[in-house]
A and B are shown apart, each in its own frame.
Chain A
Amino acid sequence: MEFNLENALTLLRKLPYYPVLQSKSKYALIDTTLSVIAAAFEEVSALAPELKEEIAHWNEGRRFAIGVLPRGPYITMEKKGDRIRFVGKGQKKPDVTFIFKNLDSALLVFTAQISAHQAAAECRVLIDGNNAYAMELNRALAMVETYLFPAFIFKIIFKRPPKLSSSQLIIKSKVYANLLPILIKHYSQVQIAKFKD
Chain B
Amino acid sequence: MLPNYYQFYCPVKILSGQLAVSNIPYEMTLLHAKKAFIITDKGVVKAGLIDIVKSAFEDSTCEMGCIFDDVPQDSGSSVVNKAAMLFEKEKCDCLIAVGGGSALDTAKGVNILVSENAKNLLKFQGVEKITKDLKPLIAVPTTAGTGSEVTKIAVIYNEDTKEKMAFVSDRLYPKIAVIDSRMTMTMPPKITAATGMDALTHAIEAYICLQNNPIDDIYAKTAIDLIRRYLIRSTENGKDEEARLGMANAALFAGIAFSNSMVGMVHALAHALGGVFHVPHGIANAILLPWCLEYNISKEPKKIAELAAILGGSLEYLEHTDLAHITVSLVRNLLQRLNRISNIPMRLRDAGVTRDKLSVAARLAINDGALIYNPAEVSYDDALTIYEKAF
Q: Flag the segment in B184-192, B231-239, B305-313, B361-369 that touches A.
A: B361-369
Kindly state the separation between the CA atoms of A114 and B4 in the bound complex, as whole angstroms.
10
Q: How far is the CA of A129 from the CA of B163 in the complex (A)?
A: 13
A contact residues around B367 at 8 Å (CB):
131-132, 135-136
A153 within 8 Å of B by Cβ? Answer: no
Q: Look across to chain B and name the residue whose beta carbon is closest to the beta carbon of A135.
A: B367
Query: CA of A114 to CA of B210 in the docked complex: distance in angstroms?
Result: 12
Shortest Cβ gap from B372 to chain A (Å): 5
Cβ of A135 and Cβ of B369 under 8 Å apart?
yes
Specify the chain B residue showing the minimal Cβ separation from A138.
B372
Query: How far is it, in angstroms, between the C-alpha of A160 and the C-alpha of B382 when the chains are bound?
Result: 12
B371 touches A121 (CB 8 A): no
Asked whether A135 lies within 8 Å of B7 as measured between CB atoms, the reply is no
The answer to the question of B299 belonging to the interface, with a C-beta cut-off of 8 Å to chain A, is yes
Given contacts A128-B127, A131-B166, contact A160 B372 (CB under 8 A): no
What total of chain B residues lie within 8 Å of the partner, measured CB to CB?
24
| A121: B residues at CB distance < 8 A | 209-211, 262, 372-373
Contact A128 B126 (CB under 8 A): yes
Nearest CB of chain B from residue A42's CB, rounded to whole Å: 24
Which positions 153-173 of chain A face chain B at CB distance < 8 Å? 158-160
- Residue A134 CB within 8 A of the other chain: yes
> Which A residues are CB-close (under 8 A) to B209?
121
Residues of A in contact (CB 8 Å), total 22
Chain A residues positioned under 8 Å from B128 (CB to CB):
126
Q: Is B67 an interface residue (CB 8 A)?
A: no
Q: Does B322 contact A (CB under 8 A)?
A: no
Decide if the interface of chain B is mainly helix, strand, loop or mixed. Answer: loop
Interface contacts (Cβ under 8 Å), in number, total 57
How many angstroms from the CA of A158 to the CA of B262 in the assembled complex? 20
CA distance A136 to B367 in the complex (A): 7
Instruction: Convert A21-52 into 0s and 1s, putting 1 for each residue whose CB lies closer than 8 angstroms to a CB of B.
Output: 00000000000000000000000000000000
CA distance A14 to B6 in the complex (A): 29
Tell me if A158 and B377 are in contact (CB < 8 A): yes
> Which residue of B is nearest A139, CB measured?
B366
Bound Cα distance from A128 to B124, whole angstroms: 11
The smallest C-beta distance from B370 to any residue of chain A, in angstroms, reads 10
Question: What residues of B have a CB within 8 angstroms of the CB of A131 in the complex?
Answer: 166, 367-369
Q: Is the CB of B127 within 8 A of A127?
A: yes
Within 8 A of A (CB), among B284-324: 299
Contact with A along B1-28 (1 / 0, CB 8 A): 0011111000000000000000000000
B377/A160 in contact, CB under 8 A: yes
Query: Which B residues lie within 8 Å of A189 (CB)?
Result: none
Other than the given A121-B373, A159-B377, 4 more pairs (CB < 8 A) read A121-B211, A121-B262, A129-B126, A135-B366
A/B interface sample: 11 pairs, CB < 8 A: A114-B4, A117-B372, A120-B211, A120-B372, A121-B209, A121-B210, A121-B372, A135-B371, A159-B376, A159-B377, A160-B376
A residues contacting B by CB (< 8 A) are 114, 117-118, 120-124, 126-129, 131-132, 134-136, 138-139, 158-160
